[in-house]
Chains A and B, each alone.
Chain A
Amino acid sequence: MRRGSYRKSPARGTNDTMTRTSSEGKKLTATVLNIQRMSTEDGPGIRTTVFFKGCGLACAWCHNPESISGRPQVQWIENRCIGCATCVEACPEGALRLDGSGMTIDRDICTGCGICADVCPSTAMELLGKEWELEMLVREVEKDRAYFEQSGGGITASGGEPTVQAPFVSEFLRHCRERGLHTALDTCGYASRRSLEAVLPHADLVLFDLKIMDSEEHRRRTGALNERILENLLFVRDFKKGSGRPLSLWIRTPLIPGATATVENLTAIAGFIAENLAGSVERWELCSFNNLCRDKYRRLGMEWEFQDTPLLSRSSLDELVEAARKMLPDPSIAQWTGAPRVEKEAATVHTKGHLKLVKGCATC
């Protein structure tokens, strides 16, 4: 990955400040967290998903807590560390301490300059959020064109919240589309109208999150009321109708135990879809809670409310989807995805276990 100089910008949610022009020219850059190739979960086909850093919401369950802040952040991956303490010596702020219990990053002092990551021999210190120039990013995502073409896939702009970096993201998607690549915008909906207006014309698909219908509860869990999100969703619907070109809309709801994953909430979301979006939504994905991000919180020095929350069982997932479907004019649009809790009886599913013997032939 290419990295330019590091930007020190306000923490989060301030639109447009994420994108800047560099001093040497007029090149657009963005802060990108990760580029995931051969992604099969972010829209149709095989996709390259670009995770843009920075989000206006701060959902209590967020699975990518490193994507919330628009600033570059550093993290320490313990099993890569060889204990050489090169980073400790290199840190200009003296923000790092390495002892028997591991690495401590003083986040009050750390500026996210990334010098520790630059000098770390083993990539145990990692800078989350790197500057990408538009042209470089377009070239990078175009590498999998052959797979996009064969699968009906393309590019997904995700995050964080990609519209936070709207000037860059709209240009990025425009360039992708001009090159014949299918484009998707994965948004939490918490965006300024201006940002949405900039990005939507360059998207072939919108993946729109609807989390909680009760606005107060939404604020309690995500930090913001949901009115703007709902308005934006209707705006997307109207834009789709008026755009005169194919634009797909998928809704996504994370199923978080004790938060979003209640029959009442899903019934309410289904009701909103039935009332306002019938015929406009092709798919509603109910994404099952998982806990794989637990270590991310620990590495960022953050508490996580869902630390010990068990995964949803298959039967409760079925029950939730059933409740959601009841309200929908076209129930087939709703489906759950993800991993349910491991249940003992599931072992019998593994009928062809003996076939594991067939590994890659060692001789050739």
Chain B
Amino acid sequence: MRASRRRFIQAGAAGIALLATVRWLDAWPAAPAARLKKLDARAVEMLEAVVPVVLAGALPEDAGEKSAAVAQIIEGFDRALSGLDPAIQDEIGQMLGVLVYAPTRITVAGVWSPWKEASAAEIAAFLGDWRGSRYELKRSGYRALTQLIKASWYDNPAAWRILGYPGPPQVVPPGTT
């Protein structure tokens, strides 16, 4: 793991051109956070910053409801991750490793501030850069990160109210059970 992390940093220093040929940092960084199966505390902190940017306008406006929604999204992200093919789980784990490790957060994601302090504009710039990157690895990282966040929110009835989705129909006519 140390060797591959060093390689990754060299790639950043030598120019991101090498990125496409370098694998994401391997291995899950640390033990999962409380109540989670996969995500560690640093990944949770990163997601707490990124989720409100990805879902700007789609989360509750009330601060308390909003932070409850973000917590539920992170739990959903964790659950969804653990249902993916083990090989894909590893790759996403490596991407999360890149995002939470300060030197690669700066060189590969371009986010200078620690996630807790990063502004919405800085995070949006990172997402936009990866989304339109010429490197497949970054576009793939953008897609995995945003899709897991979206999938973890849009089946929540709290989200349905904001989207105007009435939810599944009642199949069993009331009073017939």
Q: A and B from one assembly?
A: no
Q: Taking beta carbons and an 8 Å cutoff, which residues of A are in contact with B?
A: none
